[in-house]
Each structure stands twice: as C-alpha cells, then as structure tokens.
Amino acid sequence: MYSRLSQLARHFSRPLPNFAHRSAAAYPANLSSRMTSSSNGEAMSVPRKRMIHTAGCIIIGDEVLGGKTVDTNSAYFAKFCFSLGIQLKRIEVIADDEEEIIEAARRMSKNYDLVVTSGGIGPTHDDITYQSIAKAFNLPLELHETTVAKMQKFSRPHKSQPNFDWNTPSPALTAKLRMAQLPTHPDIPDEEQVLYVKEDLWVPISVVNGNIHILPGVPRLFEALLEGIKPRILPLLKDPEGRGTYRMLFSTPLAESAVAEYLTSLAAKVEPRGVKVGSYPRWGKKRNVVTLVGTDRDYMDSLEREVAEGVQGKRVQMEGEDDTDDETDVKKDKDA
C-alpha cells in the first residue's frame, strides 16, 4: 500500500522546489551538535535538545490579517506557557507568504527555546507552511507514510466526494497527500520529528530544527495537540513538575499616579528575584489592579502585607471580586 501511495504522490504532486539552497553556516551554532549532508551535498544541521525557558508563537494566515478569522490560538498558547512557567516572549501574525514564514521561523527558532506555528498546513495551494519551514532549514519534503496510513484510518471523505478512493489517482487524493508531505531530516529518528499525541487523530506535529512545532490553525485541533506535547515539554522545564508561573493580584482604590512611586521602588526591589510588577486601570470601576508575577512563590507570598499597605488595598483571588453594585455606572477618568 505504501509503495502505491508513494507512486501516486510522485505522479500527482508537482516537483518540489530545491530546499537545500542555504549553507549551514547561516544557522546559529548553538542549535546543532553536528552536521550532515543533504541530497545535493550541502550541509544540514542536526539540532540538539535544550532546556525550555522561553517561547515564541507564529500565527500564519491571510485570513487573520484580513479580519476574516479571529485568532484564539495565541491566547491559548499564552495560557499554556504561563501554566508551565515558560516565558512567552513573542507572538507574531504573518501572511501566507514563503519569505515571511522562512524569516520568522529562522529568527524565532534561534531566539526562543520553544516555538509553535499555527495555520497553513491544509490541502490547498495557499497552505505553504510545511514547504516554507522545510526551505528555511534546508530540508526536503517527503511523503510520510505513517501519516498517510493514519489519515486513511481516521479521516472520512467529505460528502462532496462520494467516489473518493485512496487507490485511484485524483485531484482530491493529490490534495490530501499534500498534508502528509513533511519536512524530514535524514539523521533524526522519525519519532523525534513527527509526533502523534492522540490515538484517534491522524494529524501529526512536525518538529523542525529541534524546537519548532508545526500545528494546525483549527482551534480545536491546535488545543488538543498542544496539550498532547506537554509530556514531551515537562522534562525540559526548569521546574519539571510544571507548577507554572505565579500571579498575585491586589485591589487598590488609588489612581495609577498615586501608586506609581511606590510601584517603581517595589519593581526595583523584586526584579533581582525574577518578579515583575504590573498596574492595570479598570475603566468605570472604583478599584484598580496591581499584579506581581514570578516563580518564587514563597518570596512573593512574603510580600503580601507590604504590597497591600503600599497600595492601600488588599490581595484578591480574581479581578473584580470586591466590586460592589454601586460601581456599575461609575464614570471614572483615567489619572495618568
């Protein structure tokens, strides 16, 4: 069956572009432990695993930039990172454009320990994420037969394709096989660069350059697959138990300008301990919010009384929990 599918893919897919056009010298040395050669003799880097402290997210899709689709995946990823204590440093939304995808993938992979992409891996002409990221790291696209087998087992032809047959060449088959042509490094074990995290789902997570995880844009799939890679991520965290980042909230009746001086001194005091201080006005309410965010829980808890006194307020578990009914129609100008 696999050989038959490979023949179909070669017959119906247009020739793949030459992805091996950039030398390995262009890539950061700290991402690889050794080099190998591509089919045309040029060098390809073999990435090494590294501890995960930082993350980046690339949302790919003209429909997001054009306002047709609202991106929720980056917000989900932000909460995912926060829950594990990973510092999410950057979220970018880019077009379905090869050069933009190549540039963003290279830069993000170099700058951050964990990178996820969302979108651009469907069956149509504008789904170019796989081929663009392959090109970014000098990798070929190859038909991944395990993915094809899973696709056959778990996907069902659309009702508009009643005569679809996996063994009969057709435009629909060609389109489906595009979703199984993955960036492939010849010297990395298959199980490290193609992940299946749900037994009843054929969609793979393609891992490129050791830290880029290519995910679909459909929120339901994105969320399920992201949660599925958590066991892979946990051993690489500073805190392998994944207890996450700690956030303390304080409710204050004072205007931001009234607490600015105190918060400036507080921020300088706690910054060496990895704690960040934030201030957030709440329009139309009598109380504003001050936050402390970090990972040193014991130290942060020890500051509770001091901060409460400094902002003349109190610690709360969630924003607005001490609001009262008479605040609903309050007209409050921002005191900046």
Domain termination residue (choose one: 236, 265, 290)? 236
Our CA angle for 34, 35, 37, nearest 5°, is: 160
Q: Is residue 39 part of a domain?
A: no
Domain termination residue (choose one: 184, 208, 236)? 236
Residue 62's domain comprises: 54-157+166-236
Do 58 and 187 fall into the same domain? yes
Single-letter residue type at 61: G
pLDDT digits (tens, 9 = 90+) for 16-71: 333 333 333 233 333 334 445 554 455 566 666 679 999 999 999 999 999 999 99
Q: Is residue 29 part of a domain?
A: no
Q: Is a pLDDT exceeding 90 seen at residue 326?
A: no
Of the candidate ranges 29-38, 242-251, 311-320, the one whose mean pLDDT is the lowest: 29-38
Q: Is residue 119 part of a domain?
A: yes
Q: Is residue 14 part of a domain?
A: no
Task: Write down the pTM of the prediction.
Answer: 0.79
Q: How many structural domains comprise the chain? A: 2
How deeply is 212 buried, as exposed, middle or buried, from its count of CB atoms within 10 A (0-12, 13-18, 19+)?
buried
Do 196 and 305 fall into the same domain? no
Give the whole-angstrom CA distance, residue 128 versus residue 12.
Answer: 17
Give the whole-angstrom CA distance, residue 139 versus residue 251.
Answer: 52
Read off the CATH number of the domain in which 265 is found.
3.30.70
Our CA angle for 248, 249, 255, nearest 5°, is: 140
Which long-range CB contacts under 8 A does 275-281 form with residues at least 24 apart? 275/299, 275/300, 281/256, 281/334
**Helices 219-228/73-84 angle, 10° precision:** 20
Give the whole-angstrom CA distance, residue 145 versus residue 102.
Answer: 26
Read off the CATH number of the domain in which 174 is found.
3.40.980.10
**Residue 284 near residue 227 (C-beta atoms within 8 A):** no
The Cα-based distances of 317 to 104, 145, 246, 310 in angstroms read 38, 50, 12, 18
Domain termination residue (choose one: 212, 236, 260)? 236
pLDDT digits (tens, 9 = 90+) for 182-216: 999 999 999 999 999 998 899 999 999 999 999 99
Do 130 and 255 fall into the same domain? no
SS (H, E, C) the chain: CHHHHHHHHHHHCCCCCCCCCCCHHHCCHHHEEEEEECCCCCEEEEECCCCECEEEEEEECHHHHCCCCCCCHHHHHHHHHHHHCCEEEEEEEECCCHHHHHHHHHHHHHHCCEEEEECCCCCCCCCCHHHHHHHHCCCCEEECHHHHHHHHHHCCCCCCCCCCCCCCCCHHHHHHHHCCEEECCCCCCHHHHEECCCCCCCCCEEEECCCEEEECCCHHHHHHHHHHCHHHHHHHECCCCCCCCEEEEEEECCCHHHHHHHHHHHHHHHHHHCCEEEEECCCCCCCEEEEEEECCHHHHHHCHHHHHHHCCCEEECCCCCCCCHHHCCCCCCCCC
Q: Is a pLDDT exceeding 90 seen at residue 243?
A: no
Give the whole-angstrom CA distance, residue 54 versus residue 82.
Answer: 11
Q: Is residue 261 part of a domain?
A: yes
pLDDT of residue 29: 31
Q: Is a pLDDT exceeding 90 seen at residue 15?
A: no
pLDDT of residue 19: 35
Do 225 and 284 fall into the same domain? no
Q: Is a pLDDT exceeding 60 seen at residue 102?
A: yes
Residues in the chain: 336
Do 151 and 277 fall into the same domain? no
Do 137 and 186 fall into the same domain? yes
Do 254 and 213 fall into the same domain? no
Q: Calculate the average pLDDT of the chain.
A: 85
Do 136 and 85 fall into the same domain? yes
Do 204 and 272 fall into the same domain? no
Give the whole-angstrom CA distance, residue 106 versus residue 133.
Answer: 8
Q: Is residue 112 part of a domain?
A: yes
Do 255 and 225 fall into the same domain? no
> At a CB cut-off of 8 Å and minimum separation 6, what does 188 contact?
46, 47
Q: Summarize the confidence of residues 145-170 as an average pLDDT.
A: 89
Q: Is residue 323 part of a domain?
A: no
Do 273 and 224 fall into the same domain? no
Q: Summarize the confidence of residues 235-259 as an average pLDDT.
A: 90
Gyration radius (Cα) of the chain, Å: 24
Do 288 and 176 fall into the same domain? no
